Amino acid sequence: MKYLAYMSICATLISLTACSDDKETPNSDAGQASALNLDVSETAETPLETSVKAMPLKARLTPIAEGLDVPWGLAFLPSGDMLVTERDGRLNRITPSGEITQIIGTPATLAERQGGYFDIILDPNFASNRLIYLAYAKGTSDANATAIYKARLNEAGTGLEAGADIYQADLRGTAFHFGGRLQFLADGTLLLTLGDAYVLMEEAQSVENTHGTIVRLNTDGSIPSDNPFYNQDGANQAVFTYGHRNAQGLVVDPQSGVIFAHEHGPQGGDELNILEPGKNYGWPAITYGINYDGSIITDQTEAEGMEQPVVKWVPSIAPSGMMLYSGDQYPDWQGDLFIGAMRGPAGLKLVRLDLDADFNVLAEHAYLEEAGLAYRDVVQGPGGHIYVLAEGADSGLYKVSFE
C-alpha cells in the first residue's frame, strides 16, 4: 500500500484517467473520452478530486494461454493449474505452461449477448471435497436467470461429476446485466451478484425480487436464517444488499471481513462500494451517470437511506474482476485493490487502488493501458504473482509482472 515505483507495459502510467461508457450494455459501442473525476470518501487521508501525479513504473504481460473466447472467471487449483471460464460455455483447465484441457460435464448455458458462463470459485474445503461453484446464465432468450451450478471436479481434473444447480435467481426476459460474481464469506456462506436485466432497473429498489441485488446463500442453495430480510413479509429471503445495477467485482478481506463490490453504472457512474447487510446502494434512485442517449435518469446523487460509493468513475471504466492483494511479491502493495477495466481507450487498463489500514482510498494508479486489452478478471496466484483474463485482439490468460 505504500508507494512503489512501477508502471504500465512499457508506457507511462497515468492515474485517474478513463474513457467511455459501460462496455457491458446494449448501447456500449459509442465511447466517450474525458478526464476521470474520481471522488474518494470524505474519510480518506488525502481525498482526490481529479488526478494524481504519474509514477515511473513498468508492467509487462506474459501470455499463458491465448485464443480464449471472452474469458470471464479464473480460479487457482492447489496444484497451480487454473480453472478458466469462457462466456460461450466452456470451462478449461490451464497449466502454468499454457496447456488447455476442456472440462467435460458442464451445464448448458444461454450464450447470448452478455449471457453464458461467468465466475467460478472453489469450495473453501476443496482440498478434501473437490467441489466447485459455477455462475452461469440459464434459460432462453425470453426467460432466463443467473444460476449456480455445484459439482465435484473428478480426480483426473478433466470433468465435473455429481453436478446440479443449487440456486436460480428470478427470471427476466433479456440477456443483459446478469452480474455473476461469486465470493465466500468467513462463515462459509456464498455471495452472488445479480444484475438488473437492463430493462428492470426500477426493480433494483425492491427487496421482493433478486433483480439488482447481491444474494447470500448456504452452499446447498438454502437461505441463511440471519439474512437481513429473512423475516420480512414479502421479501426475497436471499437478498443481502440491493440497489445495484450490475456488480462485476466482489472481494472479501479475510482479516476484517469487509466486503468490497464494484458495479457498472450507465454512461458514467461506475461505483466501488463497501457492502453491509440490508443496505440500499441507490440504483436507479440515485446515480452519477446518465442514459446512453444523454437523457437524465435522475437528478439525485444522494438520498436518505441510500449508501454513497467509496469511489465513483465518471466517465465509466466498466470495472470487472477485483482482487485484494496479500502477496509477498510486491509487499508495499499488500492490502491494495486491483480492478480490471474494460472500456477505452483510457478505460482499457488495470487499476490499483492504494488503501490505508482503514480502507480509505489514498490514490488510484493505472497500468497496461497501451496493451489495448480489456481486463475481465484479476486474481492473485501462487507466490503473490498477479494474473489477468483479457479480451481483445489477443484475448487470453496473462501473468502480470512489474519491474
The CA angle 324-265-183, to the nearest 5 degrees, is: 35
Q: For the chain, how big is the Rg over CA atoms in Å?
A: 19
Angstrom distance (rounded) from CA 87 to CA 85:
6
Angstrom distance (rounded) from CA 402 to CA 78:
24
Helix (H, G, I), strand (E, B) or coil at 33: strand
Task: Decide: residue 112, CB within 10 A, 0-12 exposed, 13-18 middle, 19+ buried.
Answer: middle
Residue 101: φ, ψ to 5°: -125, 125
User: DSSP states of 40-68 as a string?
Assistant: E-TTSSS--SS--------EEEEEEEE--
- Direct distance between the N- and C-terminal alpha carbons of the chain, in angstroms, rounded to an integer: 17
Is 177 a known active-site residue?
yes
Contact call for residues 132 and 123 (beta carbons, < 8 A) = yes
Residue 367: φ, ψ to 5°: -135, 160
Q: Which of 177, 244, 262, 365 is labelled catalytic?
A: 177
- H helix or E strand, kind and range, residue 127: helix 126-129
DSSP 8-state assignment for residue 306: B
**How would you classify the pairing of strands 348-355 and 182-184?**
unpaired
- H helix or E strand, kind and range, residue 139: strand 131-139
Helix (H, G, I), strand (E, B) or coil at 119: strand
CA-closest candidate to residue 268, choices 17, 26, 32: 32
Active-site residues: which are they?
A: 177
